[in-house]
Structure 1
Amino acid sequence: MVYLAGPGHGGPALVAAGYLEGTYSEVYPRVGQDERGLRQLFRQFSAPGGIPSHVSVTTPGSIHEGGELGYVLVHAFGAVMDNPDLIALAVVGDGEAETAPLEGSWKGISFLNPERDGAVLPILHLNGAKISGPTVLARKDPGEVRALLTGHGYEVIEVEGDDLPGMHHRFAAALAHAWGKIRAIQAAARGGEWDGSRPRWPLIILRTPKGWTGPESVDGVRVTGTWRSHQVPLSGVKGNEEHLRVLETWLRSYRPEELFDDDGAPTAIVRSANPDGALRMSANLHANGGLLTRDLDVPDFRDYAIAVSHPGAGRAESTRKLGELMRDLYRDNPDRFRLFCPDETNSNRLGAVFEASDRGFAERTDPDDVGISRNGRVMEVLSEHNCHGWLEGYTLTGRHGWFATYEAFAMVSASQTVQHAKWLEEAEKIPWRAKVPSLNILLTSTAWRNDHNGFSHQGPGLIQNVITQRGTVGRVYFPPDANCLLSVADHCLRSRSYLNLVVIDKQPQLQWLPIEQAIDHCARGAGVWSWAGTDDGSADPDIVLACAGDVVTMETVAAAAILREHLPHFRTRVVNVVDLMTLTRRKDHPHGMDETRFKELFTDHVDVVFAFHGYPGAVHQLVHGRPDADRFRVRGFIEEGTTTTPFDMVVRNRASRYHLVMDALNNARRTPPGASDLKAWCQQRLAEHETYVIEHLEDMPDIREWVLGDWADQG
């Protein structure tokens, strides 16, 4: 059993339990089981150089940061998928139960398979209050709460009271009943006695007073049973003798003399309650999932490559190739790989996975359903919170997967992305934490190509969140075509303890690089596409045209082609960036280019017109500290959008090929003959576009069907 503490400041209980089990002293020898160790245990709590008041990455036995509020159940469900022997006991605080993610996560039992998966035992702890007021579920009629959870499909077990030791006995009986019910469900399913219907899994509602066993009143004001006990009930112990007396009385009520010997070590009766080794919850191997991680059996991604005779000659839906790779990952890894996607697997062109697995679903199915069964392992639920959280629990316990979603809707679960990154960042500092499979996020249906949707579907904000994470964790990739996507995906699947964000659209797009060149390009993270520009390397170019992102890469290459055609002696260098973090300085990120490499690509004095998939400020942030960083002129998404054509999106955001050509001419080291005429021509083309798209409801044919000419040589 692994324990997940949802309530925020529940750290003391789990740290204390780990200490009494002996695990804490094993992983932190300085906190020994003696008086000196006890003092260290107490002094480090919520103090500089110590540990948080939350159940955090520093707490043995934990995979969940208590206080994230809303994610405890999704982490629990993810932890038990393909983990048949594990029970995840998840305590849900009644304040936490008011959050949207938690409200949506009760439905996790609709996706568990008792033959193959473990079980989740939720404990909804209703103690009546949050920081400064009552909680909704605690004030509801108990029958309504019971009906709510019964309606979700649970067998509700209720425990209530404030009497000791009666509550301990009743709660122990409730746990025993729940455990027995779980094991009976699993035994029937695994013994061939299951009819295939969704089991009614147990859930415990625990009602206790807020601040139970603490001081009933302080300074004549009631504390126990009120919101006041959520705070520090005795804030004046350093200078108020009465507060100090009440505190001593309170602490002595736990009878420490029965629990610790004269040396400060737990007594024999305390130690006798502890299981051995990894059976201790604080030593559970699933809570240090890197110890259980097995490498994926990853097929050779080269086998899925698209043949590219020359750059930009043909189109393909790049994510389909990733779907084919995932299909074979499912076949070759039936117990340690899953795709999590909010009802968009086919839409995102990943549907090849259904050749290997159905969608998992434990509720009833209808004859009209396609690819849905209780044995399915493709996880689709229309909730980014569930998909993201399930994958977190899945990877933290040692398995591998992807979360794929529409780009704009990744912001729904952005807080989870940030919190998971923080967990990985802190785990990096803790030597006993083994590295876990990376959290891989695929963003598709991007801002630039939501043709039939609208402004609500146009938002690349998650990129901003990830680039601000520490370099030990954050990775952002913009593969420009299918072969680069395959190379990047292979790297992500094999990596450990990273947050990998991969951004590429699902629509048909030009393909640029043969597979071996794609591999080399992705390994470098960025490179000069000599076949796209007119720079032969003998002298500095007049302008550098840089790009990161599939659509803006096409616009950049098209801009370079226009300049080549109209101004053949104007020297352009085209630089494509796959690994966004290579733009940073090496001291800021391990992927950052050294100064020599950066100069080879961007020079140290030529202006750079940079077409970027996301918000322009991201590039400015990343190149800060580079030589003459002000020479970078970035075009990207500037919150202009609507339901419109693909090319109109780049026009509205001033990132079209024509805008890039004009930027290049305006910022070049020299003004070539014919520059004014070319800028006028670009303005004319933009005016023609505006008229055409309104009249014909599609882009102009020469834009819509544009490919790079046969003159493009691989070089």
Structure 2
Amino acid sequence: MAQLGKSLMDKMHAYWRAANYLSVGQIYLLDNPLLRQPLQREHIKPRLMGHWGTTPGLNFIYVHLNRVINARKQPMIYITGPGHGGPGLVANSWLEGSYSEIYPNVSQDYEGLRKLCKQFSFPGGIPSHVAPETPGSMHEGGELGYSVSHAYGAVFDNPELVAACVVGDGEAETGPLATSWHSNKFLNPLRDGVVLPILHLNGYKIANPTVLARLSTDELTKLFEGYGYKPHYVEIGKDPDDFAAIHRKMAATLDTVMDEIASIKARALREEKSGRPLSRPKWPMIILKTPKGWTGPKEIDGKKVEGYWRSHQVPFSDMTPGHIAALETWLKSYQPDELFTESGELRPDLAALAPRGELRMSANPHVHGLVSRDLKMPDFRDYAVAFDKPGNKVAEATRVMGKFLRDVMRDNMDAQNFRIFGPDETASNRWGDVLDASAKVWLADYKPEDETNDHLSTDGRVMEILSEHTCQGWLEGYLLTGRHGFFSCYEAFIHVIDSMFNQHAKWLKTTLDIPWRRPLPSLNYLLTSHVWRQDHNGFSHQDPGFLDHVVNKRAEVIRVYLPADANMLLVTTDHCLRSRHHVNVVVAGKQPALQYLTIDQAIKHCTKGVGIWDWASTDAGVEPDVVIACAGDVPTMEALAATDLLRQHFPDLKVRFVNVVDLMTLQPKSEHPHGLDDHEYESIFTTDKPVVFAFHGYPWLIHRLTYRRCGQENMHVRGYVEEGTTTTPFDMVVMNRVDRYTLAIDVIDRVEKLTRTGAHVRQAFEDKLIEHKSYIHTHGDDMPEIKNWAWPY
């Protein structure tokens, strides 16, 4: 590309001034948006909120990317790591027209300018971050560390797309961000798009210097070369007001970088045509060094502001007469009269700098859910486990699920619409059959022994890296741009991404009420290697508490499923992959376990979410003496075994056996769309009979979900109570009092007629628990009658 000409450079500089002006205006102005009257206190918001420090740098990058998009007709999205630079992204979407197209009341004129400024961080207006309400956004940045993984997730299977990803130097200090730089080892230059990282070093966080900004150029270069990037530097000289020099430098660097990207793509195509192995490129990145709060006040009250942490948020908020005058001087330094027409529109020759249509970064359809397609789905019934009677056949539920996912992968390979993600656990979690359809993607170096390993490929769509943060970020980026996926993880370690789940759930909740955004594919989790079968790894691997965290989120968004066998898991998996705009949490074991429902029974049961298992109950046609309920695979087995014990010793006892597969059915319908109404709930659980509930997670979650139900005082829940170690599988349930003997004792203690007649049986069950402890300490394994138990009826 030719050197940036003076005329174009002057217009770009003016466009940047306009974006900066509107950014400051959004933070401060309630009225008088073009300062056509002397600035008064009544023109300024009573409460000043927002972040200025990062914003001028974001605006600078934006205007230069627009030039590249126009020159090369390159579809591009803008990932804003410093998401608190919200006023800049709102300003740019207004300048290029997409904001007014989506929000006609915020028009491109004087009245629209007034509304644009007033609404920012204002009651009834918009948030201060790059929120879902901002056109072109798919990364809010309210929590730092995920911009790079989101960017890579967005470009996987999007070969024409470039994600310009701005990384703030404060964000660059986070662990998730540091790991995500390694995403370049998973990017196929032919099948995928491109991430252009732009590390924005402005030197300071909210009140401290940043680490990377204080490294020497040599050390910084070595760091990113070690990550596998080719860094290009853009920085101002000694005079921060020498704008012409840095504009030319930025334009030249972007041209160089885009030429390098085109060269990498062309080389990959030649390698493919020649049959040579696809080599991993050194992808370019830009390191941009500018002052924090660039173009803002140099000093306020004799204290340094530009180029210092004081510019991070609102540089001054005490609106004394002197500060009002300083704000007016600051705003007028952008010369708004030269930028906007009499009617308040951006000057036409400046407006012409913005790309057109879907090439505008604020109108790119990938980030609004507009290019999403449904998956082609095989029939899950074809993978069903067949058996003659319940509770006798053994199968590995997640292995059956893996066969189904294998064919989901295979059927969607051409559409490039589906990937699975996990931290080095695809095979461990019994999804190994998926590797028959697609290998694990890998573009780092290969060793000779890898040549016989057909599970590594430059063209794979199984994503593994030992970082739950990066897996989650990749998947979120993939989903936010309209594709589908599943994330498998050990149950205890899904907590690593608690806050990422939290942010995504908030995004989904907010976008439900934004009509111009389309429903996204659901975020699907399989949590396996769960608490009850982590007897070998011990206490550190035993924690079912993610469920408690999930149910805090809005009912419109979250779903929790606890299928007790393989056929229920098949039905649940099919449902999750077809759903949209939910977070689906599925908990299922990977170890050999008993199977209970045929596929037809599983369909009916999972559709209802909760139900009485007639074949395990003895109360048909009469009132039950007790309800034994359960949720989760191991608790279901223990509840059935307890029912068996009670039937042996108390044949006249009327037991109703209830299984819950959709946890949210326990809430009232008024609180969750899957909830049972009171009549349905009471017909299953009764209002006056004791309920002994064996639960997969922490017992108080069941009480929390059912606290408003009639008969709550009869609910007695057993679940995980933070007892665990390296022990036997049955000892894990014994330690937490969810075992069959304890459940049976609970029934004896709560059914009035058994409290008078069941003392001998109760003592026998207590003796069995003592015998169990003695046996495992001697033999290191569970008693045969426990290991080999099956439903006998």
Specify the TM-score bucket, using the shorter chain as the normaliser. over 0.9
Amino acid in the other structure paired with 2:616: A
1:597-616 Cα shifts (integer Å, max 9, x gaps):
11121012212111110111
Q: How does 1:55-94 map to 2 (within 5 A)?
A: 55-94=130-169
Amino acid in the other structure paired with 2:396: E
Which residue matches 2:70?
Answer: none
Amino acid in the other structure paired with 1:168: H
Which residue matches 1:267?
Answer: 347
- Residue 426 (structure 1) aligned with residue 510 (structure 2): yes
Question: Percent identity over the alignment?
Answer: 55
Q: How does 1:690-705 map to 2 (within 5 A)?
A: 690-705=773-788
Which residue matches 1:13?
Answer: 88
Amino acid in the other structure paired with 1:251: L
Which residue matches 1:288?
Answer: 368
Which residue matches 1:181?
Answer: 260
Q: Secondary structure at the match of 2:732?
A: helix
CA contact 2:686–2:711 (8 Å) conserved in 1: no
After TM superposition, give the deviation of residue 668 of structure 1 in Å.
2.2
1:286-337 Cα shifts (integer Å, max 9, x gaps):
1112x11111110000000000211110211110111111111111101001
Which residue matches 1:689?
Answer: 772
d(CA) in 1 for partners of 2:621 and 2:549? 36
After TM superposition, give the deviation of residue 676 of structure 1 in Å.
0.9
d(CA) in 1 for partners of 2:344 and 2:712? 60
Q: How does 1:35-54 map to 2 (within 5 A)?
A: 35-54=110-129
Which residue matches 1:331?
Answer: 410
- Residue 169 (structure 1) aligned with residue 244 (structure 2): no
Which residue matches 1:279?
Answer: 359
Q: Secondary structure at the match of 1:379?
A: strand
TM-score, normalised to structure 2, is 0.88
Which residue matches 1:410?
Answer: 494
After TM superposition, give the deviation of residue 86 of structure 1 in Å.
0.7
Q: How does 1:632-643 map to 2 (within 5 A)?
A: 632-643=715-726
After TM superposition, give the deviation of residue 673 of structure 1 in Å.
5.7
- Residue 570 (structure 1) aligned with residue 645 (structure 2): no
d(CA) in 2 for partners of 1:695 and 1:701? 14
Which residue matches 2:322?
Answer: 242
CA contact 2:468–2:496 (8 Å) conserved in 1: yes
Amino acid in the other structure paired with 1:527: G
CA contact 1:365–1:372 (8 Å) conserved in 2: no
Which residue matches 1:344?
Answer: 425
Which residue matches 2:579?
Answer: 495
Which residue matches 1:213?
Answer: 295
CA contact 1:533–1:564 (8 Å) conserved in 2: no
After TM superposition, give the deviation of residue 195 of structure 1 in Å.
4.7
Q: How does 1:619-658 map to 2 (within 5 A)?
A: 619-658=702-741
Which residue matches 2:46?
Answer: none
Amino acid in the other structure paired with 1:107: H
Which residue matches 1:315?
Answer: 394
Which residue matches 1:466?
Answer: 550
d(CA) in 2 for partners of 1:77 and 1:422? 21
User: Which of 285, 292, 299 does residue 203 from structure 1 map onto?
Assistant: 285
CA contact 1:309–1:514 (8 Å) conserved in 2: no
Q: Which moved more, 1:486-495 or 1:193-202?
A: 193-202
CA contact 1:384–1:412 (8 Å) conserved in 2: yes
1:573-619 Cα shifts (integer Å, max 9, x gaps):
11100000000011100000011211121012212111110111111
Which residue matches 2:65?
Answer: none
CA contact 1:69–1:96 (8 Å) conserved in 2: yes
Amino acid in the other structure paired with 1:455: F
d(CA) in 1 for partners of 2:132 and 2:176? 21
RMSD: 1.1
d(CA) in 2 for partners of 1:104 and 1:548? 36
Q: Secondary structure at the match of 2:189?
A: coil
Q: Secondary structure at the match of 2:243?
A: coil
Q: How does 1:539-618 map to 2 (within 5 A)?
A: 539=623, 541-618=624-701
1:169-221 Cα shifts (integer Å, max 9, x gaps):
21122222222211221122234367511011011111111111111111111
After TM superposition, give the deviation of residue 637 of structure 1 in Å.
0.8
CA contact 2:83–2:139 (8 Å) conserved in 1: no
CA contact 1:544–1:602 (8 Å) conserved in 2: yes
TM-score, normalised to structure 1, is 0.97
1:135-165 Cα shifts (integer Å, max 9, x gaps):
1111122211111111010010111113313
d(CA) in 2 for partners of 1:493 and 1:18? 33
d(CA) in 2 for partners of 1:47 and 1:266? 24
Which residue matches 2:378?
Answer: 299
- Residue 360 (structure 1) aligned with residue 441 (structure 2): yes
Which residue matches 2:45?
Answer: none
d(CA) in 2 for partners of 1:28 and 1:695? 73
Q: Secondary structure at the match of 1:345?
A: coil
Which residue matches 1:384?
Answer: 468
Q: Secondary structure at the match of 2:120?
A: coil
Amino acid in the other structure paired with 2:613: W
1:445-472 Cα shifts (integer Å, max 9, x gaps):
0011013211111111211111111111
1:359-406 Cα shifts (integer Å, max 9, x gaps):
100011123232111111111111101111111100110111101000
d(CA) in 2 for partners of 1:593 and 1:270? 58
Amino acid in the other structure paired with 1:114: P
CA contact 1:365–1:373 (8 Å) conserved in 2: no
Q: Secondary structure at the match of 2:514?
A: coil
Q: Which moved more, 1:364-373 or 1:440-449?
A: 364-373
After TM superposition, give the deviation of residue 341 of structure 1 in Å.
1.0
After TM superposition, give the deviation of residue 253 of structure 1 in Å.
1.4
After TM superposition, give the deviation of residue 224 of structure 1 in Å.
1.2
Count the aligned residue pairs: 706
Which residue matches 1:230?
Answer: 312
Q: Secondary structure at the match of 1:420?
A: helix
After TM superposition, give the deviation of residue 674 of structure 1 in Å.
3.6
